[in-house]
Amino acid sequence: MAVSSPDLKAFLIATPFFGGLSDAGLDLLVSMLVERRFDAGATVVAEGEQGRSMFIVHSGKLVVSRLGNSGRAIRMSDLEPGDFFGEMTLIEMQNRSATVVTESPTVLYELTARNLYTCYKADIHAYVIVLQNINRELCRRLRRADNRIPELQTPHTN
């Protein structure tokens, strides 16, 4: 179901994804969101599956994991209210890079690639702001990964 409420708008404008949007741009994007509810233990997206949407976490806790070479799931990160995921499929149109599972009952708001394209056609300024916000988050994630790589290096022995 599509959603709209002053409380939801206040929550969304405080998230990294929607920051900096005008009222009109925010209203346009909010009108496109679809609320999705999940019980604890539900798989929201699975690594390798086709993805054409992203999600904003409104409530709940989720775990992002990837399959390692051994075939076991490796916990990559945790998601909480205000976080978003799935945005990479909107940019690169590739399959999901990770699996996301709920740890508690969760409410998400979904934005599809089609809706993002509609935003592009209707309000190019809002579209650019959203892409800048996505890029900022991707850069933050890359920096965190870059900082963790040295910790994973095995010390060389002579």
> For residue range 68-123, what is the model confidence (pLDDT) as tens digits?
888 898 898 999 999 999 988 888 888 999 999 999 999 999 999 999 999 999 99
Q: Does the structure show a pLDDT above 80 at 3?
A: no
Q: What is the pLDDT of residues 23-74, one digit of tens each?
A: 999 999 999 999 999 999 999 999 999 999 999 999 999 999 998 888 898 8
Q: What 8-state DSSP symbol labels residue 13?
A: H
CA 55/CA 36 separation, integer angstroms: 9
| Contact criterion met (CB below 8 Å) for 60 and 4 | no
Question: Token pair of 130, please?
Answer: 């959203």
- Residue identified by tokens 């940019």 is 91
Whole-model pTM: value is 0.85
Name the one residue in this structure whose structure tokens are 């390798």: 48
Encoded tokens for 146 = 């870059």
CB distance 120 to 92 below 8 Å? no
Residues 128-137 have pLDDT tens digits of 999 998 889 8
Assess contact for 131 and 84: CB atoms under 8 A.
Answer: no
Tokens of 122: 């209707």
Q: Does 10 score more than 50 pLDDT? A: yes
Phi, psi of 6 (to 5 degrees): -60, -40
pLDDT at 111: 94
Round to whole Å and give the CA distance between 27 and 5. Answer: 10
How far apart are the C-alpha atoms of 120 and 50, rounded to whole Å? 22
Under 8 Å between Cβ of 53 and 86: yes
**Angstrom distances, CA of residue 96 to CA of 100, 121, 131:** 10, 26, 19
With a CB cutoff of 8 Å and minimum separation 6, the contacts of 15 are 56, 82, 83, 84
If pLDDT is split at 50, 70 and 90, which confidence band does 156 have? low
Q: Provide the pLDDT confidence category of residue 155 given band limits of 50, 70 and 90.
A: low
